[in-house]
Amino acid sequence: MANLTITLDDELLRKARVKAAEVGTSVNTILREHLESWTGAQEDRRRAIEQFVEGAKQSRASSGGRTWTRDELYDR
């Protein structure tokens, strides 16, 4: 994941941090979500998830009724 440096007025950043804290998030998250929305990245991700789910629904893969215990799944 890349880093981005932006220049903001000190007071603007302070207000953004306060507002983000009020809703339980960060300025970084707010900016990332805005850029994802603005560029259509959220829509791309949603479509990819829908395609994955549809593919899973159409899959004929089966465990043959086999179940595993937690220990078996984590056995190395």
Residue-by-residue pLDDT tens, the chain, 76 positions: 899 999 999 999 999 999 999 999 999 999 999 998 888 887 888 899 999 999 999 998 888 888 989 998 898 7
Question: Number of C-alpha atoms within 13 angstroms, CB side, residue 33?
Answer: 7
32 is a domain residue: yes
Indicate the number of domains in the chain: 1
58 is a domain residue: no
Residues 42 and 32: beta-carbon distance below 8 Å = no
pTM over the 0.85 mark = no
Residues 57 and 67: beta-carbon distance below 8 Å = no
The angle that helices 41-58 and 27-39 make with each other, rounded to 10 degrees, is 80
Domain span holding position 46: 10-53
28 is a domain residue: yes
Radius of gyration for the chain, computed over Cα atoms and rounded to the nearest angstrom = 21
Alpha-carbon gap, residue 66 to 68, rounded angstroms: 7
